[in-house]
Structure 1
Amino acid sequence: MTETIHSPAPHGKQMLSVQVYAHLRDAIMRGRYAPGAALKPQDLAREQGVSLAVVREALVRVVGEGLADRLPNRGFAVPSFSDQRWQDITQARRTVEPVVLRLSIEHGDLDWESRVRAAHHRLARTPTHAPEEGEHYSAAWAEAHRVFHRTLLEGCGNPVLLETFDRLWTASELARRWAAQRDPDRDAPTEHARLEEATLARDADTAADLLTRHLTTTGAALTATPHERGEDDC
């Protein structure tokens, strides 16, 4: 049953828009809407008990993060599974992040090294699923994953590059979760462990190559057809 969002009196429409946005973003990220599913403002407004204007504001924010499309007929939808955007985002990340990682390895100090080790430790110890919540993924793991990848790059000391990472990460996180569902046998923990090891060894060439392959694997898993993956067609 869909939860209705109630309006807090002090901030009215603005607060409602923030709440609807957070609710919708979470629903998309948790896979409650299938790839390509329509996001109908009228239906969402009725389900959440808010005005159409509030829903449209929230949808525009979700579109801005790359988690929904605004269609030519002014409708909204979750991005399609095979949308070329995911490959464009993967290409952008493969171009930017290995370069930033090299800068981190060159300029990162001992405090940065400690944060990388701590971030990987948390990631490795956080369960990837939350069955007690009825979810196919763990929100805690997703956050630990983001922190690990960002911490690897923070040694670069360049806030503009880190802001670029933040934007690309948000846009690609939905694709990563879809890819994880399609490639359940992927050994991501080993990929992360090797990436940490090469980074802390200050082996820039190996670390950059491992990161490039890590990002490429996600993109490839997303676009592989069931036949290409050796699976039966559904």
Structure 2
Amino acid sequence: MSSIGLSFAENLLGERPRSLTSAVQERLRADILSTRLSPGQKLHIAGLAKQFSVSLAAVREALSRLVADGLVQASDQRGFRVSPVSPADLRDVTQTRVDIEGLALRRSIERGDAGWLASVEKSFSALCAVPYTYPDDPTHHYEEWVVRHRIFHRTLVSACGSQWLLGFRDVLHEQSERYRRLSIRRDTEKSRDVEAEHTAIVRATLKRDADAAVAALSKHFMTTMHLVELATPKAPGVAID
């Protein structure tokens, strides 16, 4: 392992990773989810290997793992590219997330104890303590908000009692993340009050009102979907980016 490659991986993960392949995978995953790598963008193995100071094999394996996660597409003739986004996929991902995450939230409300309720309040307070966007750039999320937002939504469903359900939910969250980033990057969220949306979910959850909580969660996801659609072409089959 080269010293340059090791430095990259240690800086990336904050600790010595199990392999450079894992480090490259996590960096690419972060860049795809944040849309720093645009939907549909070609991913050149040689260029990435040079950028990260790692072998071609390490990059190829990292990309193959991301193919399995649905974030990258592979073609025998065209190589790798970031999975494209589209209005149809947006609607499919959103509705499936409403179904899966709504079920997980309902089960968590039924099964969660006082400790879980306290963790929901704590994660929500932590989320509210940081700004939604950078003060000087409202088209980009404040990165710590993104981290806390992920923790908040995962905490809401963490008491559902099913690792399979949580696993499916996590995959859908990642697929949704790119669309959410696109909605704010395209400056369509000026009138949105995300904190109020989260507050509605939390209040219903703390009251153990499963119907109201799931309804608020669904509205929250659908709002993101509609905001992304506002910035997309209306012609069928046209990609968002």
Give 1:208's aligned residue: 214
2:195 maps to 1:197 = no
Higher strand content, 1 or 2? 2
CA shift, 1:176, in A, is: 1.8
Q: Which runs of 4+ in 1 moved over 6 A?
A: none
**C-alpha contact (below 8 Å) 1:5/1:50 kept by paired residues:** no
Unaligned stretches of 5+ in structure 1? 229-234
Structural mapping, 1:106-125, within 5 Å: 106-125=110-129
CA shift, 1:226, in A, is: 5.7
Unaligned stretches of 5+ in structure 2? 8-17, 235-241
Give 1:7's aligned residue: 5
Cα pair distance change 1:225/1:72, threshold 3 Å:
farther
Structural mapping, 1:42-191, within 5 Å: 42-71=46-75, 73-82=77-86, 84-130=88-134, 136-182=140-186, 183-185=188-190, 186-191=192-197
Cα pair distance change 1:82/1:72, threshold 3 Å:
farther
Amino acid at match of 1:210: A
1:12-66 per-residue CA deviation (whole Å, 9 max, x = no partner) reads xx72212222222222233322222111112212333332211111111222233
Aligned-partner SS, 1:6: helix
CA shift, 1:100, in A, is: 1.9
Q: Could you tell me the TM-score, scaled by structure 1's length?
A: 0.82
Q: Cα RMSD over matched residues?
A: 2.8
Matched residue count: 221
* Identical counterparts, % of pairs: 37
* Alignment partners' CA distance in 1, 2:230 and 2:46: 35
* Alignment partners' CA distance in 2, 1:107 and 1:16: 40
* Alignment partners' CA distance in 2, 1:6 and 1:79: 29
Give 2:23's aligned residue: 19
* Alignment partners' CA distance in 1, 2:68 and 2:86: 19
**C-alpha contact (below 8 Å) 2:20/2:58 kept by paired residues:** yes
* Alignment partners' CA distance in 2, 1:118 and 1:55: 38
**C-alpha contact (below 8 Å) 1:65/1:170 kept by paired residues:** no
Cα pair distance change 1:225/1:5, threshold 3 Å:
farther
Q: Could you tell me the TM-score, scaled by structure 2's length?
A: 0.80
CA shift, 1:140, in A, is: 1.7
Cα pair distance change 1:155/1:54, threshold 3 Å:
closer
Amino acid at match of 2:206: L
